[in-house]
Chain A
Amino acid sequence: MKPKAVPLKPSAHPKQPAHPESFDLRSPSLVICLGPGGVGKTTISAALAVHAAVIGRAADVMTVDPAPRLLDALGLAADSSEPVEVPLEGIRHARRGGGAGRARLRALRLDPKRTFDSIVARYARSDAARDTILENRIYRNLSGALAGVADYMAMEKLLELAADPLTDLLVLDTPPAAEALDFLDAPRRLLELLNSRAAVLLGAPGGLFRSQLRLVDIAARAVLAAFDRVTGLNLLGDIQSFVRSFDGMYEGFSARAASAQDKLRAPDTAIVVVTTAESSRIAQAREFIAALERAGLRVAAMVVNRVLAELPDAAELSSARIAPSVRKKLKRNLADYAALRTREQVSLSVLRNSLPAGAVLMVAPELGREPRTIADLAEIGQSLRPG
């Protein structure tokens, strides 16, 4: 494919106009892609990172649960929880050696369980305390199954990667979420579970707020106790030892969560909401935006993935030398896809009208095939344009 001008050009003024012309991949140091499941969030995240590398930046992309072929495209093995360098040779040749010397791309895959284990190891007061936690039945369930833990761990890994001075841009793919804040709010929710109030509730000794034990707490404890009794689970003891073993680690977690919140609101962080033009996904994306705004988070761009390509001209059919029966079929085919395009345009205009200030609407035309190579991802990044 012949390279065209870089479509992701920087906005004219450093100050944000009402709606910038295009999404600028040159300035952010962190791009977070959020969105409902099944819209191609991982593909867009990877395409943005590849494009950033193409325009000369040192980019990292952290993916969550990528499709096998995308994993291959990025050269990631199943357990790549540390960044792996992705070769860009073929693509940079296409740009006639363009880009600064720094340009590079690394990819990694988030392993929530391993990240959680390493945080526990970092903050635990002793090896014994660490082992107590890692072997606790509740922890094993929590780190494996509890919704939100993967989100929290992605935030944790993000801080670690963002601190690397050799990286210009980190692009973060997020787990599919029913609600936008599921991901961004994860550190706060996890802290709530571990904070002193929970410790009091669950019977850990020495909680600061012991005197504030309220009726609801007593009732909640009664529920757990009743549940334990009815079920014969004996979970309460495990829960208590779990919360107790986190005693003293709270400060470490709390400080990291605060840094994560600061990072989300930093001026060089860009939140990108990814969706498709399907009306139910658009409705969900609008809910995402509203929730992000309520939380005081600025959306930099909406990316509508897999929009239909421009349709051919109907006039070509009248002049073409083809059998009348085929002409009729081609006319019908065009009308059919025109109807789908109308459906899509209606969705896009709904989105355009509800775009938050400072955000830009971008569309990624459909590739027509499943992205399998870095070149495919580069093509998607290249084709991204204001919608």
Chain B
Amino acid sequence: MRLPRVLFVTGKGGTGKSTVAAALAIALSRRRPTTLADLDRRLSAAAALGARPEDSITVKVTDSLEVIALTPRAELEAFIERIVPIRAISRRMLRSRTFGYVTAALPGLEAFLLLERLRIMAGDAALLDRYLVIDAPASGSAVELLSVSAGVKGIAPAGTLNRLAHSVATFLADATRFGAVVTMTPEDLAVREALETTAAMRERLGIVTVAAIINCVPDPLFDASELAALSALGGHAHLAVRRNAAHQQAAVAAARFAAAGIPTFSLPMMFTAAMGAGEVEILGRVLDAEMFDR
């Protein structure tokens, strides 16, 4: 399948969004050099790849995979350092409480600068023929983050900021450069939120969702006649039904996304006593096969 160079991974909290972002980065890095940009303060996606990057510094994971941590705060600092030419003053300012007022007075500025940074990175990714996978905030906050440029355009009807906001909005809506990937688990709420997020991004921002990834899908194991014969077995029957129901729910979700024209991929439930780098590597390989060999 053909993908834009920048993939923005979001989904309901608790759906394993960071694990999926890490697996996606592994999958893509098997085809082309890839950068995972972690926007989460806790750096969960980077940790899933075994990396602990510091702000804005790239860390190499394999020959074709690197990780970078991006924070709104670091982007704002870079902005302040550009605008206050005397380094001694900008440094002191960044350490002071006064600094907080600047951000509070200009709501959305930090988030906007972060989007602008992503736009610049996307240009580099295209030039260097790389993929950029973004572990974005959970869906509600992600839509808020992506909407910032529209807000900036609203309060700045003309001038430099307006032009910047315009180019960010154009970048986000350009399906050849930028695409969203929504994650979910096979559960009602998560599936519904993934559908709503997809609709909100499309309708409000013109952003195309290029893939839906259903995480934690168990293999079905039992067929219908087997399940029917189990009813006398209490707890065991319940557990068997539960496993098949999750599989079934994943199939229903996949059909709904397919009907919306969005390619959908499933990642298996890892029935292991721990979830480590080895498990994430396996998920990466599965996703690679699902996306490119199917």
With the chains together, A317 CA to B100 CA distance in Å?
63
B185 → chain A, closest Cβ, in Å? 10
Contacts of B236 in A (CB 8 A): 312, 316-317, 320, 330, 333-334
Contacts of B156 in A (CB 8 A): 231-233
Q: Is there an interface contact between A36 and B13, defined as CB atoms closer than 8 Å?
A: yes
Q: Is there an interface contact between A217 and B98, defined as CB atoms closer than 8 Å?
A: yes
With the chains together, A67 CA to B138 CA distance in Å?
15
Known interface pairs A217-B98, A330-B240. Does A230 touch B160 (Cβ–Cβ under 8 Å)? Answer: yes
Determine the residue in chain A with the shortest Cβ distance to B144: A145
**A129-174 interface with B by 8 A CB criterion:** 137-138, 141-142, 145-146
With the chains together, A308 CA to B178 CA distance in Å?
39
Residues 91-122 of B, flagged 1 when their CB comes within 8 A of A and 0 if not, give 01100111111101111100000000000000
B44 within 8 A of A: yes
Contacts of A201 in B (CB 8 A): 98, 101
Contacts of B243 in A (CB 8 A): 333, 336
Within 8 Å by CB of B90, from A146, A179, A202, A219, lies: A219
Residues 195-220 of A, flagged 1 when their CB comes within 8 A of B and 0 if not, give 00110011000000000000111011
Q: Is there an interface contact between B161 and A223, defined as CB atoms closer than 8 Å?
A: no
Between-chain CB contacts (< 8 Å), 11 pairs: A38-B138, A142-B104, A193-B101, A202-B105, A219-B92, A220-B102, A232-B156, A233-B156, A311-B235, A320-B236, A322-B233
Determine the residue in chain B with the shortest Cβ distance to A37: B13
Q: Is there an interface contact between A329 and B13, defined as CB atoms closer than 8 Å?
A: no
Contacts of A217 in B (CB 8 A): 98
Q: Is there an interface contact between A146 and B104, defined as CB atoms closer than 8 Å?
A: yes
B89 within 8 A of A: yes
Q: Give me the interface of B with A, judged by CB distance under 8 Å.
A: 12-15, 18, 41-42, 44, 80, 83-84, 89-90, 92-93, 96-102, 104-108, 138, 140, 144, 151, 155-156, 158-162, 187-189, 218, 221-222, 226, 229-230, 232-236, 238-240, 242-243, 271-275
Known interface pairs A36-B13, A216-B98, A223-B83. Does A316 touch B161 (Cβ–Cβ under 8 Å)? Answer: no
Contacts of A311 in B (CB 8 A): 235, 239
Determine the residue in chain A with the shortest Cβ distance to B108: A145
A122 within 8 A of B: no
Q: Is there an interface contact between A224 and B105, defined as CB atoms closer than 8 Å?
A: yes
Contacts of B226 in A (CB 8 A): 326, 329
Q: Is there an interface contact between B155 and A220, defined as CB atoms closer than 8 Å?
A: no
Within 8 Å by CB of B14, from A39, A220, A310, lies: A39
Contacts of B158 in A (CB 8 A): 232
With the chains together, A38 CA to B15 CA distance in Å?
8
A358 → chain B, closest Cβ, in Å? 27
With the chains together, A335 CA to B234 CA distance in Å?
17
B43 → chain A, closest Cβ, in Å? 10
A29 → chain B, closest Cβ, in Å? 30
Contacts of B151 in A (CB 8 A): 141, 145
Q: Is there an interface contact between B229 and A176, defined as CB atoms closer than 8 Å?
A: no
With the chains together, A311 CA to B239 CA distance in Å?
8
Q: Is there an interface contact between B44 and A280, defined as CB atoms closer than 8 Å?
A: yes
Q: Is there an interface contact between B275 and A330, defined as CB atoms closer than 8 Å?
A: no
B228 → chain A, closest Cβ, in Å? 11
A235 within 8 A of B: yes
Contacts of A336 in B (CB 8 A): 218, 243, 271
Known interface pairs A276-B14, A312-B239. Does A141 touch B84 (Cβ–Cβ under 8 Å)? Answer: no
With the chains together, A39 CA to B13 CA distance in Å?
8
Q: Is there an interface contact between A231 and B221, defined as CB atoms closer than 8 Å?
A: no
Q: Is there an interface contact between A346 and B273, defined as CB atoms closer than 8 Å?
A: yes
Contacts of A329 in B (CB 8 A): 221-222, 226, 240
Q: Is there an interface contact between A38 and B13, defined as CB atoms closer than 8 Å?
A: yes
A171 → chain B, closest Cβ, in Å? 21
With the chains together, A226 CA to B41 CA distance in Å?
29
A239 within 8 A of B: yes
Determine the residue in chain A with the shortest Cβ distance to B187: A370
Q: Is there an interface contact between A333 and B230, defined as CB atoms closer than 8 Å?
A: no
A94 within 8 A of B: no
Contacts of B14 in A (CB 8 A): 37-39, 276, 278, 281
Known interface pairs A326-B230, A329-B226, A334-B236. Does A216 touch B92 (Cβ–Cβ under 8 Å)? Answer: yes
Q: Is there an interface contact between A370 and B160, defined as CB atoms closer than 8 Å?
A: no
A265 within 8 A of B: no
Stretch at the interface among A12-20, A44-52, A337-345, A348-356: A337-345
Q: Is there an interface contact between A176 and B106, defined as CB atoms closer than 8 Å?
A: no
Contacts of A141 in B (CB 8 A): 107-108, 151, 155
Which of A38, A284, A310, A335 gathers most chain B CB within 10 Å?
A38
A380 → chain B, closest Cβ, in Å? 15
With the chains together, A137 CA to B104 CA distance in Å?
14
Known interface pairs A201-B98, A231-B156, A280-B18. Does A215 touch B107 (Cβ–Cβ under 8 Å)? Answer: no
Contacts of B235 in A (CB 8 A): 310-313, 316
